[in-house]
Amino acid sequence: GRIAKLPPPSPLRASLASRPYVPCVTTCLCIPRKAVAAIAERSGKHMLLRVIHLNVHRFANVAAGSSTSAAGSSTVGAVGAALSALHPDLVTLNEVDVAHMPGCLESVSTALSLPFVEFFGHVRGTYGNAILSRYPLSRRKAVHLEGGTEFRFPAGTRKFNGEIAKENEAHRIVRGLLITDVELPSGLRPLGVAVTHLDHMDVAQRRTQLRHIVREAGDGALLLMGDLNALTRSDYSDGAWRRLEERARERKWQLPQHGDLSILRDAKFEDVAVASGSEVQLTAPAMEPLYRVDYGWLRGGGAPGTAKTAPP
């Protein structure tokens, strides 16, 4: 297929600058992070689609230095207003919490004029991934992914759901995969679109999850979007990579690793940013990005267009 250039998305910085919540937003947890565009090519015809992916971090407005949001604090309105400036056809979201922010998907759907919504709450039925679309959606599958880092809470820890951890209580970070078919107009065949959010602590767990995704994806055409928490070594200079290693040591994290995304490449997926010839851009943290962890991977049925990160 041909490579087409989409018009560049409008910068989010200008859109957010006039929003009253901005002075409170000083971390990446409530700033839109990227816009990824792709082409769907079906039945010998071409159709341009603008696809945006965003980790919304529960739509919680979190102040710098805090791990929790103020009571009633929400970025739902600001996120909807900012993303509407990008005129998306599809939006994929991570970390949607419909218990913490009731009505959040309905509000964003209305703001973006994307009336078709699929949500998979892989944690307690209320926290997970969502797809919003201009065109009708049919759910193909919703899967709890294998793997996931396990750890133990210190006794007495108050968890996000309000419960108090018991002594030696174990917890596994569960991840989900939502796959839908987008019913495109003008007689075009449906486009498979998936969204996921992978383990952020252990590359071995990400590999397990990526292998599971490949099995669930089958052999057909699919656009996979998400915060994959995985690194591509060629995105970084030697100096930048050393700085990431130093940052990890300071925080007692696992050192940055790469190569896990080869599982997608071996399954014939293409990194949209690379395949389109677009300049690869870092996506997180939002204000001063150091990492590219947010991706679009496309297999079959189309040609990548431009892939671009919209600045906060």
Q: Among 71-80, 141-150, 273-282, 303-312, name the most confident range.
A: 141-150
Q: How many CA atoms lie within 13 A of 128 on its CB side?
A: 24
User: In CATH, what number is assigned to the domain containing residue 222?
Assistant: 3.60.10
The percent of residues in the chain predicted with pLDDT above 70, rounded, is 77
Distance CA 125, CA 99 (A): 9
The number of folded domains in the chain is: 1
pLDDT band at residue 3 using 50, 70 and 90 as cut-offs: very low
Kindly report whether the global pTM for this prediction surpasses the value 0.85: no
Lowest-confidence range among 130-134, 163-167, 278-282? 163-167
In a domain, 7, yes or no: no
On whether residue 112 sits in a domain, the answer given is yes
Q: What is the pLDDT of residue 21?
A: 25
Please say whether the beta carbons of 294 and 53 come within 8 A.
yes
pLDDT tops 80 at residue 162: no
- What does the pLDDT average to over 237-245? 97
Segments forming the whole domain that contains residue 210:
12-308
Establish if 3 belongs to a structural domain.
no
Q: Which residue has the higher pLDDT, 18 or 87?
A: 87
Q: pLDDT digit string (tens) for 119-135?
A: 999 999 999 999 999 99
Residue-level length of the chain: 312
Task: Please report whether residue 243 resides in a domain.
Answer: yes
* 175-206 pLDDT per residue, tens: 999 999 999 887 788 899 999 999 999 999 99
Helical spans, DSSP H, in the chain: 12-17, 76-84, 104-112, 203-217, 238-251, 262-266, 272-275
pLDDT at site 160:
64
Domain for residue 228, yes or no? yes
Mean of pLDDT over the chain: 80
